[in-house]
Structure 1
Amino acid sequence: MRSVVLPGNSTVEHVTRDVPEPGHGQVLLAMKASSICGSDIRAIYREHLGRGPEAYQGVVAGHEPSGEVVAVGPGCHRLTPGDRVVVYHIAGCGMCEECRRGYLIGCTDPSRAAYGWQRDGGHAEYLLAEERTCLLLPEELSYVDGALVSCGYGTAYEALHKLDVSGRDTLLVTGLGPVGLAAAQLARAMGAGPIVGTDVVRERLDVAVELGLVDEALPADGAADERLTRFTDGRGFSATLDASGSAAARHLALSHTARWGRCAFVGEGGEVSFDVSHLLIHKQVTLHGSWVTSIGHMEDLLGHLARWEVHPEDIVTHRFGLADAAAAYDHADRGTTGKVCIVFP
């Protein structure tokens, strides 16, 4: 089967692998969509970080897969050929405390393996998956919708869930990359508003406005602080979310969290320093760290999306076939697009 691996140094390599056969508790998927995550760019495509859960082991890339079941192994009880599924992108041990809570992302066992990082992922014609990591994709949603849920939208939803976002809230999203766009789209469906987004990239501000995901899109420049203060009459936002990982954006989010408000840090990497008393303690702010989501919350999200008639694929600005994976990664690496997705016939 045609497959893609990421050697590092901002390159893509096409390889041929045997089509795997499902073992006990496993299913074989014909891939239909496999989107590119910012973590793939940061920690594999540009440079192999090689530490902990981000250790890339030369496997088929792609940790946001969605496809059709074409074969099942012995011991499978839930899925049958023809089922449309989303793959939660971590296969945990199933026994540790985090796995039992549904947070396979936090599995503490050495057997933990992420699709596209430590075991073969979705940038191939077929994917061998553990049945326990597969979720049924509602008929109302496309395979591209499903691929985006498998990491990015699940990550955004988890943060909004922690923030308990509802129609009572105003929301600030700092960083309008794919996760920030997802957070804005989901928060709108959950009733929040007005929603304001900031970013240093003009093209991403334009995407957010064109899709109607935000009520105001502000450049993250030297005037952003004053504009946000003016927008809320100095009261701040009841909920804020940083999806950038930038120290400046994290500080901006905390600075404009209202008294008794809630803030979530989602963007990976980097550091931030701030006046704890002024921005956190004296304002009685609750600060959340949020990493991906649980498999239960991801299943909930799929149901919500179908009910809300919300389609994650709306934020996909570029689609490529597997043969054009190099161009797909090049576009994603530019940081000026919405979501980039590899699609299959």
Structure 2
Amino acid sequence: MKAITWHGKMDMRCESVPDPKIEQPRDCIIRVTSCAICGSDLHLMDGIMPTMKSGDVVGHETMGEVVEVGPECRNLKVGDRVVVPFTISCGECFFCTRGYYSGCERSNPNFEMAREMWGNSPAALFGYSHMLGGIPGGQAEYLRVPYADVGPIKVPSHITDEQALFLSDIFPTGYMAADFCDIKGGETIAIWGCGPVGQFAIRSAILLGAERVIAIDDVPERLEMAKQAGAETLNFREEDIYDAIMQRTHGRGADACIDAVGTEPSPTSSLMAAVDRVKVATFMGTDQPHVLRQAIHCCRNFGTVSIVGVYGGFLDKVPLGSAINRGITFKMAQTPVQRYMPLLLERIERGEIDPSFVITHRGSLEDAPGLYNTFRDKKDGCIKVILRP
């Protein structure tokens, strides 16, 4: 079959790889009908995520048609149309039974590698390094889904691929970011990053009852999409974000701040951001927490900072003193997608949101290497890419 494979920094290829096979009784195989390039995939392309190996199949936003099921996967049958969550979860361990599927204790066969870096292992992920399982990803013609009796959700025939696909990752992640803000109604929510996850966080915060959403980015197309959703927008190249948020909140700060950027913020004129980039380039640091610092400072006393942007290692000069003295609550997670999928599918079916709004570019697997570059460089107004194998 054809698949997108990683061969080192800035080297993504479409090439032939072996077809997947049933390996465990709870597996299924799907024929991929739609998949997507995620912002997290750019971390692989940029060589940031360790333990990748040449030839690894990438991709973790996938849906398709079931073509084979293992003998213990009794809830699915051949012909079912499903979306696959990017988190691989057993459904039976301490964390899964409590709804924390992304903390699954059983799904990562390489859990010791993750423990060495993080102190313990989260769930395995599709197509996202050997530290997180080494499970081939879904930017391919076919995908093996472990624990398929727990993960995939069936999609009704009247919901299109483009409406359903993002249940695999970015819609639940953006929704979780807003859910973490404990919105009761009337709040001001500030969101850093108007990429795909940020766009879903904006719409989710509004769905949950936020009175004002302030969206921060520097890409005109992203800011325009945020504005169309009802957000106020700030361009960090044109305004001092701290001053602007304080002015708009009468000096109090936002009720909650969402970091939907993570470790690779856009270059800014900030001295601290420049220092971050130098430290990473000289191997004196692993992540660039400029956005997180700003979110902490812009959050009101006893507010919440919600973190869904990807960080991989250790952060430098995070203002913990500010957070402690002002009673800031931090909420963060790799998204337990299975927890949110049924709820969000219902919202799609009720017409409350059409997730296809975020798509700007479409292509085939053969187009994917070029579209990776387009997405990374934000060319041609690119916000989200879907692929049709």
Q: Classify the TM-score, shorter chain.
A: 0.7 to 0.9
Amino acid at match of 1:273: K
Match of 2:243 in 1: 226
- 1:342 equivalent in structure 2: 387
Shift of 1:139: 4.3
- 1:241 is displaced (CA, Å) by 0.6
CA contact (8 A) 1:316 1:340 kept: yes
CA distance in 2, matches of 1:185, 1:298: 16
Query: Equivalent residue of 1:8, what SS?
Result: coil
Q: Give SS of 2:302's match.
A: strand
In structure 2, distance between residues paired with 1:232 and 1:217: 14
Distance 1:139 1:128, change over 3 A: same
AA in 2 matched with 1:241: I
Q: Per-residue deviation at 1:129?
A: 1.4
1:61 to partner: Cα distance? 1.4
Matches of 1:56 and 1:63, distance apart in 2? 17
CA shift in 2, pair 1:165/1:79, >3 Å: same
SS of residue matched to 2:7? strand
2:362 aligns with 319
Structure 2 CA distance for partners of 1:56 and 1:186, relative to 1, 3 Å: farther
CA distance in 2, matches of 1:168, 1:56: 48
1:254-333, aligned counterparts within 5 Å?
254-269=296-311, 271=315, 273-277=317-321, 279-333=322-376
SS of the aligned residue for 1:302 comes to helix
Query: Alignment partner for residue 139 of structure 2, among 117, 120, 123?
Result: 123
Equivalent pairs counted in the alignment come to 337
Aligned pair partner of 1:62 in 59, 64, 69:
59
Instruction: Name the counterpart of 2:193.
Output: 175
Contact 1:250 1:272 survives alignment (8 Å): no
- Label 1:177 to 1:9 Cα distance change in 2 as closer, same or farther (>3 A): same
SS at match of 1:260: strand
Alignment of 1:1-345 (within 5 A): 1-22=1-22, 24-42=25-43, 44-47=44-47, 49-51=49-51, 55=52, 58-109=55-106, 110-111=108-109, 113-117=124-128, 118-130=134-146, 131=148, 132-209=150-227, 212-221=228-237, 222-245=239-262, 246=265, 247-269=289-311, 271=315, 273-277=317-321, 279-335=322-378, 337-344=382-389
Shift of 1:294: 4.3
Structure 2 contact 194–226 (Cα < 8 Å) conserved: yes
Identity %: 29
TM-score if structure 1 supplies the norm length? Answer: 0.88
Shift of 1:275: 4.3
Paired residue type of 2:358: I
Cα deviation, 1:179-201, whole Å, max 9, x if unaligned, reads: 11110022122222211100133
Query: Could you tell me how far apart the structure 2 residues matched to 1:320 and 1:133 are?
Result: 26
Indicate if the aligned counterparts of 1:243 and 1:265 stay in contact, CA closer than 8 A.
yes
> What is the CA–CA distance in structure 2 between the aligned matches of 1:206 and 1:56, rounded to whole Å?
38
| Matched-pair contact (CA < 8 Å) for 1:196–1:214 | no
Q: Which runs of 5+ in 1 are unaligned?
A: none
Q: Distance in 2 between matches of 1:263 and 1:140?
A: 37
1:239 is matched by which residue type in structure 2?
Answer: A
| Offset, 1:94 | 4.6
Shift of 1:315: 0.9
Q: Tell me the TM-score normalised to structure 2 length.
A: 0.79
Does the 8 Å contact 1:138/1:303 carry over to 2? no
Given that 1:35 and 1:342 are in contact with CA atoms closer than 8 Å, whether structure 2 keeps it comes out as yes
RMSD: 2.4
Q: One-letter code of the match for 2:9?
A: N
User: What secondary structure is seen at the aligned counterpart in 2 of 1:305?
Assistant: helix
| Superimposed CA distance per residue, residues 241-273 of structure 1 (whole angstroms, 9 cap, x where no aligned partner) | 111124332222222222332221221226353
SS at match of 1:97: coil
CA distance in 1, matches of 2:169, 2:88: 13
Please state how far the C-alpha of 1:335 moved relative to its aligned partner.
4.1
Unaligned runs of at least 5 residues, structure 2: 110-122, 129-133, 266-288
307-316 or 14-23: bigger deviation? 14-23
The corresponding residue for 2:278 is none
Distance 1:85 1:162 in 2: 27
What is the letter of the counterpart of residue 145 of structure 2?
Answer: A
2: CA distance between counterparts of 1:196 and 1:286? 19
Residue 165 of structure 1, CA deviation: 2.4
Distance 1:275 1:71 in 2: 51
Over 3 Å counting, the alpha-carbon distance change for 1:147 and 1:59 in structure 2 is farther
Structure 1: distance between partners of 2:46 and 2:327: 40
Question: How far 1:48 sits from its partner (Å)?
Answer: 6.1
CA distance in 1, matches of 2:11, 2:334: 27
